[in-house]
Amino acid sequence: MTRLHVREWGEGDRVAVLVHGLSGDSSGWLQVAPELARRGYRVLAPDLTGHGQSPRGEYSRERWADDLLETLPARPDLAIGHSLGGVLLAMIVDRLHPARAVYEDPAWYPAEGGYGAGMPAIADAKNWTIDDLKRAFPHWSAQAHEARLAAFERWDPATTHMRYVETAYVPVIPSVPSLVLLADPSALIPPHRAEEFTAAGFELRTVPGTSHNIHNDDLDGFLAALDGWL
């Protein structure tokens, strides 16, 4: 296992952990983390292996999950996972045991054609410019665009070559109080799946007018959707 690089904000008595998605890193939380710190949290955001300032190496979903358990403190007050981060959080939630878990548009189901079909396009983003980001994500702040461009530069696109991308990891029931935040619409949690998760005991909320990167598309809407969970 590898101890990951972790970015920290705040000195509150409560602990929040934030897990980024594929091709991003902890800098993707630069707008969210200070808001949590202002609400009394000490915020910890790791870089997965192959991302940010964490080491490179052999990549697998299981290794990422084990690395998170090795790095993060047990029983945080809040854990948020975005996209792939939502997959990894679901894999470790019964061992990390946060008081509350939030899954932001988690990659629990592949899009049409399977995860592997989308990997070449994700890998191509390694070469994006700031103008490409502005065209793709017109609602993001300048800070979010700059952070993502830097994250692409630090990211190892070999993380898209793993066999995990052909399979889904789907939680069956929530082992801790769990909220799923959905994009509008979500390409990863279609309506019939959303109904299944609601029936299984997850709370689901949609943030109107957002795409997969909810917290960058609409920070205020993202925080509002966390009402009662912070």
Q: What is the pLDDT along the chain (230 residues), one digit of tens a residue?
A: 568 999 999 999 999 999 999 999 999 999 999 999 999 999 999 999 999 999 998 898 899 999 999 999 999 999 999 999 999 999 999 999 999 999 999 998 766 556 666 788 888 999 999 999 999 999 999 999 999 999 999 999 999 886 655 566 789 899 999 999 999 999 889 899 999 999 999 999 999 999 999 999 999 999 999 999 99
User: Which of helix, strand or coil describes residue 103?
Assistant: strand
Q: What is the DSSP string of 170-214?
A: --SS-SS-EEEEE-TT-SSS-HHHHHHHHHHT-EEEE-TT--S-H
Radius of gyration of the chain (CA): 16
d(CA 25, CA 128): 16
Whole-model pTM? 0.95
Instruction: Tell me how crowded residue 66 is: count the other CB atoms within 10 A of its CB.
Output: 17
- Give CATH for domain 6-225: 3.40.50.1820
Q: If residue 66 lies in a helix (H) or strand (E), which one and from where to where?
A: helix 61-71
Q: What whole-number distance in Å separates Cα of residue 126 and Cα of residue 115?
A: 18
Backbone angles phi, psi at 43, to 5 degrees: -105, 130
